[in-house]
Amino acid sequence: MSLDIKTLVQKYNTPLYVYDFNNIASRYKELKESFEGKKSLVAYAVKSNSNLAVIKHLAKLGAGADCVSIGEVKRALKAGVKKYKIIFSGVGKLDSEIREALEKDILLLNLESEAEMKRVEMIAKELQVEARISIRVNPNVDPKTHPYISTGLHENKFGVSIDSAKRMYIYAKKSKYLNPIGIHFHIGSQLTELSPIREACEIVADLVRSLKAIDIDIKFFDIGGGLGVVYNEEETIDPKEYALNILQSIKGLDLTIVMEPGRYIMANAGIFLTRVLYEKRNGNKRFVIVDGAMNDLLRPSLYNAYHKIEAVQKDGEKSSADVVGPVCESGDFLGKSVPLPPLEHNDILVVHSAGAYGFTMSSNYNTRGRVAEVAILDGKDYLIRERESFEDQIRLEEACDTSWQ
């Protein structure tokens, strides 16, 4: 992303998220074209960055949406995603969410347990509709990633075992109100090795073959997301190799491949800009205090995740510093032991790879307003979310009756 960062900061202030929409399109097309000639659906993982402008941009390219709440389903529809390209996943769907998803007639609901299947069947019966479903299978494959973003082992809360899935599919096949058309698995995020993906695909493909043998016609083979990206010199998976391994594992099966990329599309399409407030030292420890904080970008505090941090147009001998924010928590940091030149008030730092799981995980902790978001498309900048004001934060509280106090 070639940007005049100082001009953007003058125009929109800091902290600030900036997204390269040309890069977003390139990443989407790269993945889609890897499956060229095969039936496929790229269902963008809305949770990674749910800005309406981002979803709309991808929808125009032909993307679907992987949603984990009815709010995300409604965002996808509002942004122009076709209803037949929307998947509703998630471990804990409310009855009201299931009902609304069925009423909106989206592609399918992805189920995580037998108990959930029974709720969906009951609600579908009430509505007198047939619920199109897939079942999330847990292939018990080690994804070799951070434990917080591992999802495919028995110790994780997601999905059901192969044996449980078989029983659920047989039940669904017999039900008047359930139509089992898909199968789903997702072993984890930030995957940088092909072997766990290939192993999981082969396990689930074998299950599909056994289901077809008893006349359960699975049409959608949902491989989830999880393709890793470069945060800190990681070796990543080539999309063409990714596609080849998946297609080999389902050889002989007539299936539409569904992918749910989020980080892969968004992470390196976004940066986070923050302004230096002060420098300080505690003994030999150097701190750079900035106006961005853990409430704006939670990943470093939550996962101890690494984001490359650079100073804009500053020279000088670099020394190690912790980049910390104003939030009243010891865990409020954007980076530790970051090599930075001497910095002064109002200098700008760029936090890289911040397009995924940045703004969407932000909060109003310490009554801090959520930051603005800006899109860059063909060299022009566009405000896609206004900076949140104090009045925005308290609006729903002020709307309540306080006469009892």
Annotated catalytic sites, by residue? 328
Q: Which residues of 129-157 are buried (b: 16+ CB within 10 A; e: fewer)?
A: eebbbbbbbbbbbebebeeebbbbbeebe
Token look-up 């945060």 returns 231
Find, among 37, 11, 34, the residue nearest to 264 by Cα.
34
Of 319, 313, 327, which is closest to residue 277 (Cα–Cα)? 327
Whether the CB-CB separation of 287 and 335 falls below 8 Å is answered with no
How far, in Å, are 59, 124, 205, 330, 369 from residue 297 at the CA level? 26, 40, 38, 15, 13
With tokens 């979310």, the residue in question is 385
